[in-house]
Every structure is written in structure tokens, then in C-alpha cells.
């Protein structure tokens, strides 16, 4: 039996139910050429800005888990790509600012080159699973920052988060260790930026916002021919298929993917 037929029969055999675990999906992907913004913290265990930490807002349309994130940025050296990054979520204050931190995870993402920005820096897209965060419906804030202590150059900037237009809801900003807040101005046109990131739906291989039988063929393609998958679904993250979160798309993801498609 071919892999595709196996997946379809597994799907058909299971009773199709709505997945019990709703997920919060939010898309604010990089669009070419905006410059990037320093975002670093002292270390995972001390998530204090060093020297600046960037925040942007996002909205969950319903209560749901966030289990996979991707973001775009530049690095001082390719060695920095897979170093540790700190993801934090913050409560929204209803006035385009943050209240307290409600989540923190230290992750080592996968990264892939996507192209130059307006300053000719190389922009990479980073992707990683995170321990699930249950986000309630409504606005939240996210910060993604370099873990400076584990970076390739402690006390130096090694990561910048790529800017993005149009600004959605509230403008992104950065904060220093004293709590001072700064707007993000693009280096090229001096206009304000948001930053580039997405909260992704695990198992959604065709990026239509749901996990369904329609994801089976794209999953098989991702597994067997990643380049063809990227060409067919240029706006999608192939790592949505990394169901077991080991940083690779492989046969080890099949059972997990089937359980996502067929529900609990
Ligand atoms: Ca550093
Ligand atoms: Ca925003
Ligand atoms: Ca889908
Ligand atoms: Ca995997």
C-alpha cells in the first residue's frame, strides 16, 4: 500500500471528529525588504532586555493552543541560526502595551535563507515547536529574542527581528532594561515597522487554516520531495508536518500526523 493510500485509509477508518484542541493561528509573514530590529535578552533564565527586546501584538480568533511559531530575522553569523531563542507571551493592556509575562520558552529553531532585506542583510525564516501555550480569544503580545549568554558573541548583537508592513492593530516596539519604550523605525525609509512572525497550525500542510483530509497529499509531498512541496506551497511552513517536533519531516511524523487529521 502506498503511503498516500495508507494515510487515506487511516483517515477513513477513524471517525472524523472535530479536533478537541483548537489552535490559535495568526499570520503576519515577512514581506520583502524591511530592515530588522535588535531583540536580545540577557539569557533564558533572565529574560531582561540586552540591550533591547522587541514586542508585537497578535490576535486569537478563538481560545486555542499555540504549538508552533515561525519568524523572520537576520543574524551576525550563520552559526547563530540554531542557537537559543527566548519566546515570551504577554498580556495585552488594551492600550497597545503589555501587562505581565504569561509564558516563556527557550527554543532552538531550524532556519532557512529566504532573501535579502533593504539593507542587503540575509533574511532567514526560523521555525520551532514550543511547549503548548493556551491563548484565550483576543489580543496578546509576543517577544522573540536572542539568548545572549548562549549566542555566538555574548554582549554583542547577534539577532535582529525582521520588520514588516502594514502595521496590524498596535505598532511593534522595543524596550530596554530600564523599561523605556522605543518605536521601531525602518532603517531604509524611517517609517514604523511591525515585525514578521506567524502562529502556525500543526498538520496544516496546505495552509488553509484547518487540518483535514486535504492535507494528506501535501504531507506526502513534503515527506517525499521537500523542494516540490516548497514550490507548490510557497507561503506554507513545511515544518507544519514536523508533527513530533524533532526538527525534521520524516516517517516518524506519520502516526502523529494521522492522529491530527483524524482528531483525538
Ligand atoms: Ca549576542
Ligand atoms: Ca502589530
Ligand atoms: Ca489544511
Ligand atoms: Ca519530525
pLDDT (tens digit, 9 = 90+) per residue, 120-145?
999 999 999 999 999 999 999 999 99
Q: What is the pLDDT of residue 166?
A: 93
Architecture of domain 26-200: Sandwich (2.60)
CB 99 within 8 A of CB 57: no
Q: 12: burial class by Cβ within 10 Å (0-12, 13-18, 19+)?
A: exposed
Measured torsion, CA atoms of residues 58, 229, 78, 114, in degrees rounded to the nearest 10: -60
CA of 200 to the centre of ligand 3 (A): 11
Q: What is the pLDDT of residue 187?
A: 96
Which has more confidence, 7 or 16? Answer: 7
For residue 217, the ligand closest to its alpha carbon is 3
For residue 172, the ligand closest to its alpha carbon is 2
Q: What is the pLDDT of residue 11?
A: 55
Q: Percent of the chain, pLDDT > 70?
A: 92
Q: What is the pLDDT of residue 14?
A: 47
Pick from 172, 49, 71, 77: which is nearest to 124 by CA? 71
pLDDT tier for residue 5 given thresholds of 50, 70 and 90: low
Q: What is the pLDDT of residue 8?
A: 59
Residue burial 92-120, b: 16+ Cβ < 10 Å; e: rest? beeeebbeeebbbbbbebbbeeeeebeee
pLDDT (tens digit, 9 = 90+) per residue, 20-47?
468 899 999 999 789 999 999 999 988 8
**Least-confidence region, from 14-18, 59-63, 150-154, 156-160:** 14-18
42/46 Cα distance (integer angstroms): 6
Q: 20: burial class by Cβ within 10 Å (0-12, 13-18, 19+)?
A: exposed
Mean pLDDT score, 141-157: 97
pTM above 0.85, yes or no: yes
CA of 220 to the centre of ligand 4 (A): 13
Per domain, the residue ranges of the chain are: 3-17+203-262, 26-200
66/229 Cα distance (integer angstroms): 24
Phi, psi of 207 (to 5 degrees): 55, 40
pLDDT at 119 over 50: yes
131/68 Cα distance (integer angstroms): 8
Q: For residue 43, what are the β-bridge partners?
A: 46
CA of 114 to the centre of ligand 4 (A): 22
Amino acid at each position: 500500500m502506498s503511503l498516500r493510500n495508507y494515510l487515506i485509509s487511516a483517515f477513513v477508518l477513524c471517525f472524523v471528529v472535530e479536533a478537541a484542541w483548537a489552535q490559535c493561528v495568526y499570520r503576519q509573514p515577512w514581506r520583502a525588504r524591511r530592515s530588522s530590529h535588535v531583540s536580545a535578552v540577557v539569557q533564558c533564565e533572565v529574560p531582561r532586555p540586552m540591550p533591547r527586546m522587541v514586542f508585537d501584538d497578535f490576535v486569537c480568533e478563538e481560545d486555542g493552543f499555540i504549538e508552533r511559531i515561525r519568524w523572520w530575522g537576520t543574524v551576525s553569523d550563520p552559526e547563530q541560526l540554531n542557537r537559543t531563542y527566548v519566546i515570551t507571551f504577554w498580556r495585552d493592556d488594551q492600550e497597545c502595551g503589555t501587562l505581565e509575562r504569561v509564558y516563556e520558552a527557550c527554543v532552538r529553531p531550524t532556519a532557512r535563507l529566504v532573501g535579502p532585506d533593504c539593507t542587503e542583510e540575509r533574511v532567514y525564516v526560523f521555525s520551532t515547536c514550543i511547549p503548548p501555550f493556551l491563548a484565550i480569544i483576543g489580543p496578546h503580545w509576543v517577544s522573540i529574542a536572542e539568548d545572549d549568554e548562549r549566542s555566538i558573541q555574548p554582549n554583542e548583537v547577534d539577532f535582529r527581528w525582521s520588520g514588516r508592513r502594514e502595521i496590524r492593530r498596535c505598532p511593534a516596539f522595543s524596550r530596554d532594561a530600564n523599561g523605556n519604550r522605543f518605536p521601531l523605525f525602518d532603517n531604509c525609509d524611517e517609517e514604523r515597522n511591525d515585525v514578521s512572525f506567524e502562529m502556525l497550525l500543526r498538520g496544516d500542510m496546505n495552509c488553509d487554516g484547518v487540518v483535514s483530509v486535504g492535507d494528506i497529499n501535501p504531507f506526502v509531498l513534503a515527506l517525499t520531495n521537500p523542494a516540490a512541496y516548497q514550490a507548490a506551497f510557497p507561503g506554507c511552513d513545511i515544518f507544519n508536518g514536523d508533527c513530533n517536533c524533532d526538527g525534521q519531516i520524516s516517517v516518524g511524523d506519520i502516526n502523529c500526523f494521522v492522529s491530527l487529521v483524524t482528531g483525538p
